[in-house]
Amino acid sequence: MGMTILRDLSVLWSLFHILVLFMLLYRSRYTKKRTIILTVVFMGSLALFNVAGLVRYGTELMGRVFLLTCTLPSLFFFWFMSQDKNGQFFFTFCLADTVSYWIIALTNILDFYFGGQRYILMFAGRLVLFPLVEWVAYRYLRKPYRELQESVAKGWGLFAGMTALYYLLLAVTANFPVVITKRPQELPAFLLIMALMPMTYATILAAMYRQLLLFRRQQSERMLREQKNILEMRLENQQCIRKMKHDMKSYTATLSGLLAAGETKKAKDYLQGIEQETDFGWGQFCLNPYINATVAYYDRKLEELHAKRRIDIRIGEEALPHMEICRILANGIENACDELGALAPEDRELSVQMQYNGEYLLIRIRNRCQEGRYVEQGKLPKTDKEGHGHGYGLRSTQEDVERLSGDMACYTKNGYFVLDVMIPCRCFMMS
């Protein structure tokens, strides 16, 4: 009786940590509090059901039907809970479930061959291995994996298929036609299958990491190109201003001469000619030259898209952290341009609002978006398969906002995508 308690505790411990491992990696569509409550209720019920089955039918039978009693119910529940409904979800589920089952199978074998089925090695092994794996996942895997989920759209289906096949291979060979401990002649082959698991996942995760590095490089190159264009535009503006200052003396002398001679009409015509000559095609949106050049550059792009636009920049010549602010504006408006390009010309609409009140710098970029697009507040949208959409560049924007100790929110409402940024003025003084 005492030994079976260790067995049952091992099952409960395993189910709990399968849950923990999965929650470290997947993205819920509900709030953190609601996710925890629903998950605890479901997994608690599932754990009690499986322990009751162990007491009633024994480990061998429950091992044969665990796909029906544990895996499939968990799959349907987390599918319902997950923000992702594609290959991302299935890969994450298979990753957590396969790693967990690998630990369970290993501790079962160790206990059977070295522990005499007293469940001591089983319990001790799971007591150590599950927290160790979770620590590694949290310390080294969670952050880049979340970044992959938010930025990379391709390849998840293939990886999910590979992991699902491996999971089924491991489960079937462990339990059919009888449990592996009753087939000692097949144990070396089974151990080889188990040894392949770390190598399989290491290969998959390495490939995913290469995708992430490629994505980061593309983003960096894109931002460098945009910054180069903005700087060139600012240089062009400065050159135009210097030319205007240089020519102003001759303009003034000519106008003075015409007016002195009483040639009022000729003076008016000459003044109109000056206006046409000095119309360089760039707007003046604010007094900050960096922000003005950024907005002017994208205003031209919006004009090419024939988009309705409203730009309201209420800042003066304050010393702002222009590198970060310009990147935030550039990413936000660039993403909006990508979205507007997919709409009919008559639906293309965007507004840019920016205000500095001495306490906070407030930025709002609002644009029409495609029908059916939904982004929950507090979540970053995903990039689509072509690399367009609001997911592209918003991670960089979030990093800039966090660097300035600010807050960022993006969401969809009434057919519009909205990006809100609030940056405290103390960061300006520290810059």
| pLDDT of the residue at 427 | 61
Q: Confidence class of residue 360 from pLDDT cuts 50, 70 and 90?
A: confident
Decide which of 200 and 429 is more confident: 200
Decide which of 97 and 232 is more confident: 97
Residue of 380, 299, 294, 285 whose CA lies nearest to 337: 299
| pLDDT of the residue at 386 | 45
Q: What is the mean pLDDT of residues 92-114?
A: 87
Q: Which two tokens stand for residue 204?
A: 């998959």
* CATH for the stretch 282-430: 3.30.565.10
Point out the least confidently predicted range of 108-122, 161-175, 302-316: 108-122
What's at 131, amino acid-wise? P
Q: Is pLDDT at 331 greater than 80 in this prediction? A: yes
Would you say 322 and 290 are in contact if contact means Cβ atoms under 8 Å apart?
Answer: yes
Q: How far is CA 62 from CA 30, 70, 172, 190, in A?
A: 32, 10, 13, 20
Point out the least confidently predicted range of 51-65, 70-84, 181-195, 373-387: 373-387
Size of the chain, expressed as the number of residues it contains: 431
| pLDDT of the residue at 160 | 86
Question: Model's pTM, two decimal places?
Answer: 0.57
**Using CA atoms, how far apart are residues 331 and 324, in angstroms rounded to an integer?**
11
Compute φ and ψ for 373, nearest 5 degrees.
Answer: -70, 130
Q: Which residues on neighbouring strands pair with residue 352, listed in sequence order? A: 311, 365
Q: Confidence class of residue 148 from pLDDT cuts 50, 70 and 90?
A: confident
How many helices (DSSP H) and strands (DSSP E) are in the chain? 14, 5
Residue of 215, 213, 173, 218 whose CA lies nearest to 191: 173
Which H or E element spans position 366? strand 360-368
Question: pLDDT, tens digit, for every residue of 381-428?
Answer: 655 544 444 455 677 788 888 888 889 988 888 889 999 999 987 766
**Using CA atoms, how far apart are residues 408 and 361, in angstroms rounded to an integer?**
12
The pairing of beta strand 349-356 with beta strand 360-368: antiparallel
**Using CA atoms, how far apart are residues 370 and 278, in angstroms rounded to an integer?**
39
Q: At what angle do helices 322-341 and 187-260 cross, to 10 degrees?
A: 100
Percent of the chain with pLDDT over 70: 83
Q: Is pLDDT at 123 greater than 50 in this prediction? A: yes
Compute φ and ψ for 218, nearest 5 degrees.
Answer: -60, -40
Q: Which two tokens stand for residue 302?
A: 């919006």
Decide which of 256 and 308 is more confident: 308
Q: Is pLDDT at 285 greater than 90 in this prediction? A: no
**Taking the alpha carbons of 381, 383, 384, 390 in that order, is the dihedral positive or negative?**
positive
Q: Which two tokens stand for residue 263?
A: 């040639």
- Classify burial at 42, counting beta carbons within 10 Å of its beta carbon; exposed 0-12, middle 13-18, buried 19 or more: middle
| pLDDT of the residue at 22 | 82
**Using CA atoms, how far apart are residues 216 and 151, in angstroms rounded to an integer?**
9
| pLDDT of the residue at 26 | 80
Q: Which two tokens stand for residue 262?
A: 């009483």
Residue 350 three-state SS: strand
Q: Confidence class of residue 9 from pLDDT cuts 50, 70 and 90?
A: confident
| pLDDT of the residue at 291 | 84
Q: How far is CA 259 from CA 249, 254, 267, 337, 407, in A?
A: 15, 9, 7, 48, 57
Residue of 181, 132, 114, 169 whose CA lies nearest to 20: 132
Question: pLDDT, tens digit, for every residue of 60-79?
Answer: 777 778 778 888 888 888 88
Alpha-carbon radius of gyration of the chain: 31
Which DSSP string corresponds to 249-298?
Answer: HHHHHHHHHHHHTT-HHHHHHHHHHHHHHT--S-----S-HHHHHHHHHH
**Using CA atoms, how far apart are residues 204 and 182, in angstroms rounded to an integer?**
33
Q: Is pLDDT at 220 greater than 60 in this prediction? A: yes
Decide which of 24 and 279 is more confident: 24
**Using CA atoms, how far apart are residues 209 and 25, in angstroms rounded to an integer?**
15
Q: Break the chain into its structural domains and give their ranges.
A: 2-220, 282-430
Q: What is the mean pLDDT of residues 241-251?
A: 61
